[in-house]
Amino acid sequence: MKIEKFVEWFTRLPLMWGFSSKLTVDINQAQILYKKHQFYLLIFKTWLSLTFLILIWYNIKNILPSISKGRIIFDKFPLTVMLIVLILGIVVVSFWNFLHSRFSPIEKWKLENLLRNFTEEANILAQHDDSFNFTKSVKWIYSASKQKIAITLKTGGHVSFMMEQDIARRLLGFLIKETNDIWILEDNSIINGSIKMIFSHNADERLVIDDISKLKKSKMVSIPLTKQLSWDIKRQPQLGIFGKTASGKTSLIKAITISFLANNKNNQLMLIDGKASFLAQSGIFAKIPTATTAEECLKLLDDAIEIMNHRYAEMNHDLADESDVTYIEKFPNSGTVLIACDELLALASATQASDKMKKPADRLMPQISDRILSLIVKSRQASIAILISGQAFPASLLGDSIVRSNLGMIVNLGRTTQVQSQELFSINLKDLPQVDSSNYEGIIWLDGLNWETPKIFYSPYYDDKKLPFKATLQELTEAQGGGLPQA
Annotated binding site for ATP: 243-250
DSSP E strands, 245-336:
268-273, 290-291
**What is d(CA 288, CA 279) in angstroms, rounded to the nearest whole number?**
11
- Binding-site residues, in ranges, read 243-250
Q: Is residue 292 classed exposed, middle or buried when 0-12, 13-18 and 19+ CB atoms within 10 A define those classes? A: buried
Long-range (24+ apart) CB contacts under 8 A made by 12-18 are: 12/108, 12/109, 12/112, 14/106, 14/108, 14/109, 17/108
CA torsion angle for 174, 175, 178, 183 (degrees, to 10)?
-130
- Residues 470, 474, 475, 480, CA torsion sign: positive
Question: By three-state DSSP, how is residue 41 classified?
Answer: helix
Biggest CA–CA distance in the chain, Å, is 132
Composition of the chain by helix, strand, coil, percent to 5: 45, 20, 35
Tell me the one-letter amino acid at 193: G
Q: Are 78 and 55 in contact (CB under 8 A)?
A: yes
**What is d(CA 476, CA 11) in angstroms, rounded to the nearest whole number?**
56
**Which residues neighbour 362 within 8 Å (Cβ) at sequence distance 6 or greater?**
none
Relative to beta strand 409-413, strand 384-390 is unpaired
Q: Are 427 and 381 in contact (CB under 8 A)?
A: no
CA-angle at 436, arms to 147 and 433, nearest 5°: 55
Q: Are 181 and 132 in contact (CB under 8 A)?
A: no
**Cα separation values, 262 from 90, 173, 321, 466, Å:** 64, 40, 32, 16
Q: Are 116 and 23 in contact (CB under 8 A)?
A: yes
DSSP E strands, 17-167:
21-25, 138-144, 149-154
Question: By three-state DSSP, how is residue 154 classified?
Answer: strand
**What is d(CA 256, CA 279) in angstroms, rounded to the nearest whole number?**
13
Residue 231 parent element (H or E): strand 230-232
Taking Cα atoms as reference points, which of 184, 196, 127 lies closest to residue 158? 127
